[in-house]
């Protein structure tokens, strides 16, 4: 290499150093300092480049210039290290203050809301039947007595109509009652739809009972209704067995016992076998041809079954609840056992 020797003035080195120190001292945070490291400290910084060109400096000057550059570089590195240490300290101190947790502060005691176990059970039942291809139908709680009684073949003098059971709405000649069961929704469904019909009707129902351990004047039912060609009681029994197994456990089966409902013929009570005993569950039967006809369905072509049970009772048996008050009174200590308020 034969190029002419160069010379690096001490003032030049001083200027490079001064610029680097100024930049370092002005870095406000570690990100800025990182940029400054590349520009003023790293391999491509002016001071590093000056060092790299030392070889071109004449032999006489090389030692002094080298020493000047070395010292300047050491100063820059030192300033950088000092600033870095200060900025790290500042960052950590700030974090300690900002992210401080005051363990003496009162906790947030508000509980998150969640579904009442009765609502969860209703959803479970809806999911089951929707999975079987049923639709979920709803109707009004304030119902015409024609739909609640007459269309269901419950005659005027039937005991279910008596003042003891039914909440009649004044004026009495308006013919309105608080529905005593969800069966009027079946009538509505049959009036509005052509068979085949596969629906469940869950909802609130009313009877003038006193609230006690096993009764409540406001309760919930879920009824099922199927109208199709060739439907028999075997279909009803199979559906009830599946229903019971899904709600109470895979080994649970049902039995049906002869009974009477004006709107089904034949009619039956359905029980399920649970924890070593038969438990009454609800009513069921083949839809009475008079009801089919009242709803404009040709009973020579179509047959159907219906069943209906109380949700409170179902929940009580399944979850070992012994007092109806627990279900209706809304005490969170009860609901929380089902996950309400903790989710």
Of residues 202 through 231, those in contact with ligand PHE by CB under 6 A are 223
Work out how close the CB of 171 gets to ligand PHE at its nearest, in angstroms, rounded to a whole number: 26
Calpha distance 206→177 (Å, rounded): 9
Of residues 146 through 185, those in contact with ligand PHE by CB under 6 A are 181, 183
Using the structure block, give the residue that is written with the tokens 């199709």. Answer: 228
Q: Where are the beta strands (DSSP E) in the chain?
A: 135-136, 142-144, 176-178, 197-206, 218-228, 254-261, 264-274, 277-287, 303-310
Of residues 251 through 280, those in contact with ligand PHE by CB under 6 A are 261, 264
Work out how close the CB of 308 gets to ligand PHE at its nearest, in angstroms, rounded to a whole number: 3
Of residues 66 through 105, those in contact with ligand PHE by CB under 6 A are none
Among 151, 307, 312, 340, binds ligand PHE (CB under 6 A): 307
For residue 312, CA distances in Å to 26, 129, 155, 251, 319 come to: 73, 19, 28, 22, 10
Among 283, 292, 316, 326, binds ligand PHE (CB under 6 A): 283
Among 27, 147, 284, 324, binds ligand PHE (CB under 6 A): 284
Tally the C-alpha atoms within 13 A of residue 51's C-alpha that lie toward its C-beta. 17
Nearer to ligand PHE, 139 or 283 (CB): 283
Calpha distance 57→260 (Å, rounded): 117
Looking at 20-28, 39-47, 208-216, 302-310, which segment touches ligand PHE (CB under 6 A)? 302-310
Calpha distance 308→282 (Å, rounded): 6
Using CB under 6 A, list all residues that contact ligand PHE: 181, 183, 223, 261, 264, 282-285, 306-308
């Amino acid at each position: 290499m034969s190029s002419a020797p160069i010379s690096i003035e001490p003032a030049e080195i001083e200027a490079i150093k001064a610029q680097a120190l100024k930049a370092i001292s002005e870095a406000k945070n570690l990100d800025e300092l990182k940029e400054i490291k590349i520009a003023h400290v790293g391999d491509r910084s002016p001071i590093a480049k000056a060092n790299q060109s030392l070889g071109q400096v004449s032999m006489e000057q090389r030692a002094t210039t080298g020493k000047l550059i070395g010292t300047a570089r050491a100063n820059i590195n030192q300033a950088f290290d000092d600033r870095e240490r200060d900025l790290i300290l500042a960052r950590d101190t700030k974090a300690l203050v900002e992210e401080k947790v005051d363990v003496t502060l009162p906790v947030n005691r508000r509980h998150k809301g969640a579904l009442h176990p009765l609502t969860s059970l209703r959803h479970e039942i809806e999911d089951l039947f929707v999975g079987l291809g049923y639709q979920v139908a709803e109707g009004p709680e304030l119902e015409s007595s024609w739909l609640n009684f007459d269309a269901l073949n419950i005659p005027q003098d039937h005991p279910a109509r008596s003042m003891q059971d039914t909440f009649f709405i004044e004026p009495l000649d308006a013919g309105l009652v608080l529905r005593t069961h969800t069966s009027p929704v079946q009538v509505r469904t049959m009036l509005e739809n052509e068979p085949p019909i596969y629906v469940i009707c869950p909802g609130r129902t009313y009877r003038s009972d006193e609230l006690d351990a096993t009764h409540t004047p406001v309760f919930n039912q879920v009824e099922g209704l199927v109208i199709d060609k060739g439907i028999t009681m075997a279909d009803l029994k199979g559906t009830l067995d599946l229903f019971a197994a899904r709600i109470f456990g895979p080994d649970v089966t049902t039995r049906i016992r002869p009974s009477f409902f004006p709107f089904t013929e034949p009619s039956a009570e359905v029980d399920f076998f649970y924890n070593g005993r038969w438990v009454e569950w609800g009513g069921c039967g083949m839809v009475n041809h008079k009801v089919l006809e009242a709803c404009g369905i040709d009973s020579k072509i179509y047959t159907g079954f219906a069943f209906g049970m109380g949700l409170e009772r179902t929940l009580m048996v399944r979850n070992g609840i012994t007092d109806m008050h627990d279900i209706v009174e809304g005490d969170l200590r009860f609901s929380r056992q089902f996950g309400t308020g903790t989710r």
